[in-house]
Chain A
């Protein structure tokens, strides 16, 4: 752990009105929500930088703790064993969330690379690691396309990001795809010139475009 991590931990623990334990519980809750949102929504959402950093630091500490305790295990203490099982099960669960979150993002990044690259607000949603990954992946992909078939096509047909002729070759997320949401507050949204009233606790299926702003402020929860 370096100095920045310690500072981050310190800053986090200083947030008002929360003790450390509540904060940890809240972070896991937020991680689950971030995971579900990323899975269910058509567009790439902004990377949860600080949240992921905090959880990763805790994971690392927990792994160190497990290693320390495993050495003591020779004493055949049953309680230590059970405690380790508890710690390891939780670790598995948190790691699953992080992994699935990352994989979901990578899938979208792969699919929409060209679109993300052409648009500054989109690229700003990526973490530094994700940006590096995307550039490298795209580079490899282009190299492959070129060596396999593009070089044999007439030059005018070689581009892979043509937008003219009414059909764009750059794939964009379909914001009109439906999503399931639960309303957490009363709101009225416009869908295709019709007004839809969202009542608190109601469950609705409607196109993502109509509720995307409400998702961001937390007035609806993606299911």
Chain B
């Protein structure tokens, strides 16, 4: 089959990583390097210590070759993440403001550029884990609000959305079908009531089913 069933209606975690790697990060080149023409935006000419913004996949590639250092984004700091964690606790019905790809980006940087971190990586790691857990609990509680019309999930990131997506699809679809069948039933009932009324008006209309 051209597309496996698990990939229909859903993305795989690898595919979300792929999307996250398109996000831009700032690097500080260690050496100079000529620009490279690419299919997308070209890699600009790099000069040592001159900051450039390039996509994440390219930054980690250069980092692996020890050609650059990565400027860890402001939000990957103990202070920022702790503030978000406090917010998560303070507002039990809201998700705090984190980047669209916070999970994969933070993970990738921890894996490939932990020496570029200003705060201790293990503290960041455990804060990320705490945030992830508290948000997961919230997302699951939010599922109680599910109905057949719509659900609003502001503040969730793509990875988090993708995790609950199959479940939400299934539930909403079932609710929709139940609701539709209720509607059909209601219509049938009102139609049969109208028929019954018509029957009463016209007694000569023999109805064998009502004779008993």
Contact = CB atoms under 8 A, between A and B. Distances in A.
B154 A203 contact: yes
Nearest to A174: B173
Contact of A90 (B19, B34, B38, B150): B38
Given A40-B9, A82-B67, A177 B3 contact: no
A176 B176 contact: yes
Contacts, number: 119
Interface residues of B, number: 46
A94 B57 CA distance: 12
Interface string B144-182: 000011111111101001000100110011001001000
Contacts of B22: 28, 32
A223 B161 contact: yes
B168 A205 contact: yes
Interface stretch (B39-47, B106-114, B118-126, B130-138): B39-47
B25 to A, nearest CB: 15
Given A62-B39, A223-B158, A93 B61 contact: no
A89 B61 contact: yes
A176 to B, nearest CB: 6
A50 interface: no
A94 B39 contact: yes
A146 interface: no
A191 interface: yes
Given A86-B61, A87-B36, A107 B1 contact: yes
B185 to A, nearest CB: 16
Interface string B1-29: 11100011101000100110110000000
Interface of B: 1-3, 7-9, 11, 15, 18-19, 21-22, 33-34, 36-43, 57-58, 61-62, 65, 67, 148-156, 158, 161, 165, 168-169, 172-173, 176, 179
18 contacts: A24-B38, A40-B9, A55-B39, A62-B39, A82-B65, A90-B40, A90-B58, A94-B39, A106-B3, A107-B3, A177-B173, A180-B165, A203-B155, A203-B161, A205-B153, A206-B149, A206-B151, A223-B158
